[in-house]
Structure 1
Amino acid sequence: MKAEKAVRSSMNTMVKFTRSRKGQKLKLHIIGRHLNDGWIAKIAILFLLSVVSYLYLQPLFYIFSTMFKSVSDLIDPTVKWIPRTMHLDNFRTAWDGLMYPVAFTNTLVIALSCSIIQVFMCAITGYGLAKFPFPGRGLITLLVMLTFIVPPQIIVLPLYIVYNKFGWLDSPLVFIVPAIFGQGMKSALFIFIFRQFFKAQPASLEEAAMLDGASVFRMFFRIMLPLARSACLVVFLFSFIWYWNMHYEAAMFLPKSYPTLAISLNRMEENLAGLPLRFATVTKVDPMTEGIKMAGAFLIIIPPLLIYMIAQRWFVRGIERSGIIE
């Protein structure tokens, strides 16, 4: 009986507290007014974001940890994330194995030239599909989007034959020429981005320009293209990153005489096998080259990472204004 009375008294106390002003405030803080602004919801969202962030950042943590490890740290099971000493020779070895100056220049030429060309050509195509009514416009838009769905492995053989006949293999022309004709890497997505952006622009701008006597080309270059600066930035960054990281297309169309960074990373052990004796342990059967590989991966990802860090604010703003989230 005493236990039942104690339980009843505690329950009555809790009920009185929850009905009091302090109890209502505490309940409002914990649960929230709409179940998504209380402490419980915030803790759950923070937990989910932490898990997702770890899943995305764990490969980067592994790269940063492994690229400073020596061979003794790599074979020591007690060394997990933090190496005993900062082993910087991995960067020198990776620099030589990647043939970094040559591969960096080749990759930069392809990524920068194709990205600039794609911004210009996809903007023209997207503007035409958005603002000019003509027979078959919907069908052409559908065909353009289908080129984004088709995997590159399906058309790589006919492309190889065509590029070989024109003599473009082993040169940047295999990527620059398709970009000029609006068929570069992921061009369909970029055309769709510009199309959505130009469709959102009011028709009064074009009507006012026509009343002032502006031609179609002048209206595009003087009015529409400056307004699409945010979309241009988004397309440029996406295109640059995709061309920078491409491996399959570069491995098919660019033999050894024109290596890119992605190809050089794949062939790094082969390149190091012909270097002097200080690299004699770096062979295909040696499992202790993980630090060198991670140093090479870091040397590859650091340029686009720096570009994103510099342009992050404009990049996020451009995504919000370019119609991607619609």
Structure 2
Amino acid sequence: MIHVIKTELEKAGRLIHSAMWSRKAQKAKVMVIGRNVSDGLIAKLIIYLLLSIVAYLYLQPILYMVSTMFKTIGDLLDPTVRWIPRVVTWENVVKAYNGLQYPKALLYTSLIAVTCSLVQVIVCSMTGYALARLHVPFKGLFSALIILTFLIPPQVIIIPLYVIFSKLGLLNTIFVFLIPAFLGQGLKAALFIFIFRQFFRSQPLSLEEAAKLDGASTFRLFAGIMLPLARSACLVVFLFSFIWYWNMYYEPSMFLAKGFTPLSIRLDMLEEVLNPTLLGNTRTIVNPITESTKMAAAFLIILPPIVIFIILQRWFVSGIERTGIVE
């Protein structure tokens, strides 16, 4: 009798031990593989690996730029020095700062980018609201014309614009960018109009109906209710417009050839500033003597947008999601 009880207890113990190991194995399986394919540790490791590869591809030019800007001529000519210079020097940064005329060029570039971007936010939001909510005659025709302005490359209309601005005496002034922005024809304005149009169409009609019952006019309805709701869209449009105005080169090279030169034009002129004896087409040849200085100049140019994006990153990402661009 005692032997039978002992045997049964051993069986029960083995069953309990087996159940415990089975639970542990199940927990380990859930942790590694996950209840769904995308929940497990393996899937997360694969996602992090892919994100790290993509991040490296995007960051490698910036890392190379930062590494090169601190190199001496000896480190540039030494094939064994790739990322970390033997001697860190700030001389290239000083040369780039002086060659770009950085304070003046930064002021001009900021003036163009900030002013035109704010104007684009106001004008494009009004146009997008009109296309989304108001009963505008020939609305479909206007939408098609807006898309057409987005499809036409700027090189096609640059000569007529140059002639018009020249006759009006607006060359080498900010008005060559400000006037088109006021007229809804600024840089990538068609895209911004449709971003606002998409956002306003997603808002409930009950808000407008309640405001109209209270006697609100169309402008008060837009400025007091709809525009505050579109803060995320305004931020997205402002940042996109700011970056495009900051980085543009073709239009300033045509309209701002003298005096009022932004950073993009100063960067193009940097080689001549660093080497005044440069003649002919030799400027297209990579010059190892000035490569570090040009890398420093490029870094000084992209530094303000990077700082602005780091500060506004959270609101920018949420704005992208709310405006429906990711769809």
TM-score (norm 2): 0.87
Aligned to 2:7: none
Aligned counterparts, 1:129-144, within 5 A: 129-144=131-146
> 2:210 & 2:130 partners in 1: Cα distance?
18
> 2:136 & 2:261 partners in 1: Cα distance?
44
Do the aligned residues in 1 keep the contact of 2:172 with 2:257 (CA within 8 Å)?
yes
Aligned to 1:3: none
2:84 matches 1:96: no
Do the aligned residues in 1 keep the contact of 2:32 with 2:40 (CA within 8 Å)?
yes
Do the aligned residues in 1 keep the contact of 2:130 with 2:136 (CA within 8 Å)?
no
> 2:123 & 2:136 partners in 1: Cα distance?
19
Give the Å deviation of 1:30.
3.0
Aligned to 2:289: 288
2:252 matches 1:236: no
Give the Å deviation of 1:134.
3.0
> 1:210 & 1:123 partners in 2: Cα distance?
20
Aligned to 2:318: 317
Do the aligned residues in 1 keep the contact of 2:33 with 2:40 (CA within 8 Å)?
yes
Higher radius of gyration, 1 or 2: 2
Aligned counterparts, 1:71-82, within 5 A: 71-82=73-84
> 2:43 & 2:252 partners in 1: Cα distance?
47
How large is the RMSD of aligned CA atoms in angstroms? 2.0
Aligned counterparts, 1:224-263, within 5 A: 224-263=226-265
Aligned to 1:190: 192
Structure 2: stretches of 5+ with no match in the other structure = 1-17
- How many residue pairs are counted as aligned between the two chains? 303
> 1:216 & 1:42 partners in 2: Cα distance?
50
Do the aligned residues in 2 keep the contact of 1:96 with 1:272 (CA within 8 Å)?
no
For the residue of structure 1 that corresponds to 2:36, the secondary structure is coil
Among residues 176, 179, 190, which one is paired with 1:177 in the alignment? 179
> 2:221 & 2:26 partners in 1: Cα distance?
61
TM-score (norm 1): 0.88
Among residues 31, 35, 43, which one is paired with 2:37 in the alignment? 35
Aligned to 2:309: 308
Give the Å deviation of 1:54.
0.8
Give the Å deviation of 1:71.
0.8
> 1:231 & 1:29 partners in 2: Cα distance?
39
Aligned to 1:126: 128
Do the aligned residues in 2 keep the contact of 1:126 with 1:191 (CA within 8 Å)?
yes
Aligned to 2:64: 62
For the residue of structure 2 that corresponds to 1:201, the secondary structure is coil
Among residues 91, 106, 109, which one is paired with 1:107 in the alignment? 109
For the residue of structure 1 that corresponds to 2:291, the secondary structure is helix
Aligned to 1:280: none
> 1:43 & 1:109 partners in 2: Cα distance?
45
Give the Å deviation of 1:272.
2.6
> 1:44 & 1:146 partners in 2: Cα distance?
42
For the residue of structure 2 that corresponds to 1:84, the secondary structure is coil
For the residue of structure 2 that corresponds to 1:288, the secondary structure is coil
> 1:325 & 1:135 partners in 2: Cα distance?
31
Aligned to 1:86: 88
Structure 1: stretches of 5+ with no match in the other structure = 1-15, 276-282
For the residue of structure 2 that corresponds to 1:239, the secondary structure is helix
Give the Å deviation of 1:274.
4.9
For the residue of structure 2 that corresponds to 1:86, the secondary structure is coil
Deviation per residue, 1:28-72 (Å, 9 max, x gap): 333322222223222221221111111111011011111111111
> 1:136 & 1:218 partners in 2: Cα distance?
24
Aligned to 2:118: 116
Do the aligned residues in 1 keep the contact of 2:77 with 2:288 (CA within 8 Å)?
no
Deviation per residue, 1:277-314 (Å, 9 max, x gap): xxxxxx94642211101110111011111111111121
> 2:230 & 2:31 partners in 1: Cα distance?
44
Give the Å deviation of 1:273.
3.3
2:165 matches 1:168: no
> 1:20 & 1:229 partners in 2: Cα distance?
53
> 2:316 & 2:167 partners in 1: Cα distance?
40
